[in-house]
Amino acid sequence: MSKEIDITALQSGNIQAFEQLVNLYEKKVLNMCWHILHNREEAEDATQDVFIAIYQSKHLFKGESQLSTWIHRITMNKCLEYMRRAKRKKRFGIKVPIDESFFAVENESQLNPEQVLMERERSKAFFTAVQQLSENQRAAYSLHHFDEFSYKEISESMNLSLSAVESLIFRAKQQLLIQLKDPILQNWI
Amino acid sequence: MKNNRTIQPLEVSSSLHDKLMKSPVYAQKMKTRTLTVSVITTLLILINLVYYISNQENLAENQILESQYANFGSDLSI
């Protein structure tokens, strides 16, 4: 993707190059944020902050990594910032809710109401458990699980070693297995 | 996700897209705001510093007057 963007033009403040970058990465960044933060409003705010940060620090991109890796790293930092903010809000009793979209049931029309309810409850339990993971575990697990990032891509995005990422995801899965006793939910992990 | 469970990806709304396109404008506004706050903070620190220095002499005098030697000699008659 980065080959299609004129990095020099972007770094010299060319608005067209920046708009091209927005068009290419906005959906990816939004979905990364959404999968980590579990709330559309928060994800949209984070996405906006990501692109402002990209514009502000465009001169810092040295070309040592791919542009996409650099953007993922900025996105990850913003998501961690938003998670910390949500944690602070929680102390004051303000909870950031998980979007209903995460509880949507596939092929709902083919299931009876009881099955739909059960599925929703399972989803709720699953995402509540994911939200209770530590910030780094949640971020690494979400990127691997929902965005289908490889361990290498996660290590580059989070600026961690490969073994640290493996350990984070392993511990996240262990934590989820402890919390979720339902065998169907354990199969989702 | 395993077990054929997938989350439908979000589509970028037109309002968000417009906001993202305006990122350079927001970045400039933030830069101006940060600069203004820095200048005001620096000015406030300077004003406080000047006020503190100009009051140093008075402070030293007040400290002597409030010390145990302030009334030295006043009770020698006892």
Q: Is the pLDDT of residue B41 over 70?
A: yes
Q: Is the pLDDT of residue B2 over 50?
A: no
Query: All domains of chain A, ordered by start, with CATH?
Result: 1-97 (1.10.1740.10), 100-189 (1.10.10.10)
Min Cα distance A102 → chain B (Å) is 7
Min Cα distance A25 → chain B (Å) is 11
Report how many Cβ contacts below 8 Å link chain A to chain B: 68
CA atoms within 13 A on the CB side of A115: 8
pLDDT along chain A (189 residues), means of 10: 73 90 95 92 95 93 89 94 89 80 77 85 88 92 90 92 95 92 80
Is the CB of A60 inside 8 Å of chain B's CB atoms? no
The nearest alpha carbon in chain A to B26 belongs to: A52
> Which residues in chain B are contacts of A43 at CB distance < 8 A?
10
B52: CB partners within 8 A, 6+ apart: none
| Confidence band for B76, pLDDT divided at 50, 70 and 90 | low
Cα–Cα dist A54/A70, whole Å: 9
Q: Which of A39, A29, A100, A35 is nearest to A71 (CA)?
A: A29
Give the pLDDT score at B3. 47
For the whole model, what pTM was predicted? 0.80
Q: At A156, which helix (H) or strand (E)? A: helix A151-158
- Please tell me whether the interface predicted TM-score (ipTM) of this complex is above 0.90: no
